[in-house]
Amino acid sequence: MLKILSTILAGCLYFGWNHDFANHSQTPAAQPPNIIVILTDDQGYADVGFHGSKDIRTPNIDRIARNGVVCSEGYVSFAVCGPSRAGLLTGRYQDRFGFSRNPLVAPNDPAMGLPTSEQTIADLLKKANYTTAVVGKWHLGAHPSLHPNKRGFDQFFGFLGGGHQYFPKNLTLKDLSEMKSEYDSYRTRLMHNTKRVEETEYLTDALSREAVRFIREQQNKPFFLYLAYNAPHAPLQASEKYLSRFSDIADPRRRTYAAMVSAVDDGVGNILNQLEELELDKNTIVFFLSDNGGPTPDNASDNTPLRGKKGDFFDGGVRVPFAVQWPGTLPAGSRYTQPVSSLDIFATAAAVANVKPKNRLDGVNLIPYLSGRNKGIPHDYLFWRNIDGQKLAVRSPTDKLITQPNMEFLFRIKDDIAEKNNLSQQDSQTREALKTKANDWNRQLPPPAFLGLMQEKEYNQLHPDRFKVVEDFK
């Protein structure tokens, strides 16, 4: 009897951590829903039609909003690329496993990236017999043990580093063995699984093409597609096909940025059209979001009305365009106004595929909330840590606290979306309560597992053979 009670208690504790995973899993169908995550890179909060953009037209991204739900308070788990992606793909705060920094391209370092102790969404869904693919940017490790094909993905088409050149003529390096610096990885040929391939199309178009191909080839069985566009991340490069759409934008940087977003929008349209043509749209969940806020001075993005930019814990760094469609299950054309997180995508996938995660999750199954069945609040608190900047942030449904050296910010974020009114001195009770929550969370976290992009000089001194390729991908 004691053994039985212990087993029951353990199960209650597990699912208590995972919130709605147990209570709101979808009833298993003959075939569970396909899942597509479309992630842009450095896109501004205001740079989609469903957030009111006038100069950048995104009719296809807006289709996701019309077909489903706009999460107007959609957050990511960090304010720069690599850690944000690690959180999304594991459903866990990346600081729980030391992924606290942007990783370097270090092809002979198995610790520089997503640790193998972590289960990815692809690992999880393969247990439910999904076919899995990542198309685009990886940025979770360049060592062979960290390659997408080793992390649950059946197929990979894209690049391993944190960014890439968009025009094929600029891909002048055969592989990682020819790298001499971090940004040389931007010039390597693309990869199909572990092989290097020649590409002839503009990068965004090539990624869209491969995503559509995967959907078409996998139409008769459940699939998971993680489409991680590089756009509109620097370098600012667009083909004339897209530039010609924005002759009315005078600022050349904003015009190029708009063209890059428009290329993504075309790709999203191709994907949605393919789903509809194959009659898969009603059995496919499509998420759209950016990996962090726009770096407004660098790529001419727009985070209006949010304060801050990429790298900040003001909402301009971590609050992103976020929309979800599942026709027939989620209400079309609706808006959800409670805070949700990219961490929730993993928990949602686990629930709809009816498979138990390996690790404790920080996200929740969003479907009961977005469908209106659960009237509660998905998260009591969301947290962020920048260990090198000595910054912590915590968001409750109504308030947000940011602490950093010699400065604290408290905002009534529900009513002050632009974070203009710092209440840290006026409301010490809320400030201290949120600070306690943030500090308690922070004490659970280990130190960073690797030196990152900001420590590149130190890393190179410690690893003079950094670019020596132990097991090359040719």
Place of tokens 């749209």: 281
Identify the CA nearest to 152 among candidates 282, 346, 407: 346
User: C-alpha dihedral over 440, 394, 15, 35, to 10 degrees?
Assistant: -140
- Burial of 458 (C-beta count, 10 Å sphere; 0-12/13-18/19+): exposed
Distance, C-alpha 27 to centroid of its chain: 27
**Max intra-chain CA distance, the chain:** 75
Q: Which residue in 72, 55, 60 sits closest to 323, CA to CA?
A: 72
- 12 among known catalytic residues: no
139 noted as active-site residue: yes
**What sign does the CA torsion over 186, 187, 193, 198 have?**
positive
Structure tokens at 297: 């001075």
> CA-to-CA distance for 440 and 435, rounded, in angstroms?
8
Catalytic residue, chosen from 71, 81, 164, 379, is 81
Q: Choosing from 19, 24, 51, 139, which is the catalytic residue?
A: 139
> Rounded to an integer, what distance in angstroms lies between the CA atom of residue 144 and that of residue 474?
12
User: What are the φ/ψ torsions at residue 254 (nearest 5 degrees)?
Assistant: -65, -35
**Helices vs strands, H then E, count in the chain:** 13, 16
Closest CA to 90 of 313, 349, 351, 287: 349
Q: In what order do the strands lie in the sheet with 400-404?
A: 382-386, 391-395, 400-404, 407-411
Residues designated catalytic:
81, 139
